[in-house]
Amino acid sequence: MAWMVSRGPFWEFLIPIVILGFGIVISVAPLTTTVINSVPPNKTGIASGINNAAASVANLFAVAILGAVALGIFNHALDRHLQSATVSTGVQQAIRAAHGSFVIEPALSNIQGADRRAAETIIKGSLAQSIRSVMLIAAVLAISAAAVGTLLPRSIEITDPNDS
């Protein structure tokens, strides 16, 4: 899916997104069930609350960290194009205007014609590289989490301290 960001029609991008969504659907419910079933019946409310809080905090950190990484990669790609490409002053200004923001249109508003197409190609290519890199990082993290999950014990007997 990471390679489809910069090329191909929308439906080719939609299919992997649907597969990703299906993967999330089939993994979240069993995870919640495992958490709830791993505690005594009188503690399921607490376990559910902790599970939801942990998921919310994890989502918050994932968006913040991966967003910062994506912006850093985007800015680095733009800088690389500025240093290596022999482009007009208008294209250079558009690239500088796109620096630090994922919103492309304002950066392209002041140039026309061939310069606009060149700047748009560079900016969109840098954005695609950023998205591709973050998607690959997320995939590596998911595979790593699955690998660590295989190291966990298969079953643990839980005893309630109140059952004496």
| pLDDT, tens digit only, all 164 positions of the chain | 444 445 556 666 677 778 777 877 777 777 788 888 888 989 999 999 998 998 899 889 999 999 999 999 999 999 998 887 688 888 888 888 888 888 888 888 888 888 888 888 889 889 889 988 988 888 888 888 878 877 877 666 666 667 65
Rounded CA separation 7/128 (Å):
9
Do the domain assignments include residue 137? yes
pLDDT at 14 (0 to 100): 76
**DSSP characters for 38-62?**
TS-GGGHHHHHHHHHHHHHHHHHHH
pLDDT at 53 (0 to 100): 93
Cβ(129)–Cβ(73) below 8 Å: yes
Distances 71 to 10, 37, 111, 139, 144 between C-alpha atoms, Å: 23, 40, 23, 18, 24
Do the domain assignments include residue 38? no
> pTM, whole model, 2 decimals?
0.70
C-alpha triplet 108, 3, 6: angle, nearest 5°: 20
Rounded CA separation 61/53 (Å):
12
pLDDT at 9 (0 to 100): 67
Cβ(75)–Cβ(95) below 8 Å: no
pLDDT at 1 (0 to 100): 46
Do the domain assignments include residue 118? yes
Do the domain assignments include residue 110? yes
Do the domain assignments include residue 50? no
pLDDT at 158 (0 to 100): 63
Number of H helices, E strands in the chain: 5, 0
Q: How many domains does the chain have?
A: 1
Do the domain assignments include residue 62? yes
Do the domain assignments include residue 98? yes
Domain span including residue 61: 56-150
Cβ(6)–Cβ(124) below 8 Å: yes
Do the domain assignments include residue 145? yes
- Token pair for residue 23? 């993967």
